[in-house]
């Protein structure tokens, strides 16, 4: 008997960087095999978080 779709996808191993081996966060339609640190790319947060150390 075949496992359910959820069981199949839950049993897949976590996505890892091809260079350093760190676990990468799964993203929809993301086909990267190297993490952002190894590729030298910068990532920016999607939400604004004010710096509590700076006075307004």
**1 vs 49, residue with greater confidence:** 1
CA-CA-CA-CA torsion sign (6, 12, 14, 19): negative
- What's the number of domains the chain is made of? 1
What does the pLDDT read at residue 49? 66
Please answer whether residues 45 and 36 qualify as being in contact, where contact means their C-beta atoms are separated by less than 8 angstroms.
Answer: no
Tell whether 24 is covered by a domain. Answer: yes
What does the pLDDT read at residue 2? 82
| pLDDT (tens digit per residue) in 5-54 | 999 988 989 889 999 999 988 777 777 888 888 888 777 666 666 676 76
Q: How many CB atoms are located within 10 Å of the residue 15 CB?
A: 16
Range of the domain at 21: 9-39
What does the pLDDT read at residue 55? 57
What does the pLDDT read at residue 26? 78
Tell whether 16 is covered by a domain. Answer: yes
Tell whether 54 is covered by a domain. Answer: no
Tell whether 3 is covered by a domain. Answer: no
Tell whether 28 is covered by a domain. Answer: yes
């Amino acid at each position: 008997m075949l496992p359910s779709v959820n069981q199949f996808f839950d049993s897949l191993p976590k996505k890892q960087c091809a260079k350093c081996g760190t676990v990468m966060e799964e993203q929809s339609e993301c086909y990267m095999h190297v993490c952002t640190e190894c590729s030298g790319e910068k990532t920016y947060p999607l939400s604004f978080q004010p710096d509590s150390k700076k006075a307004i």
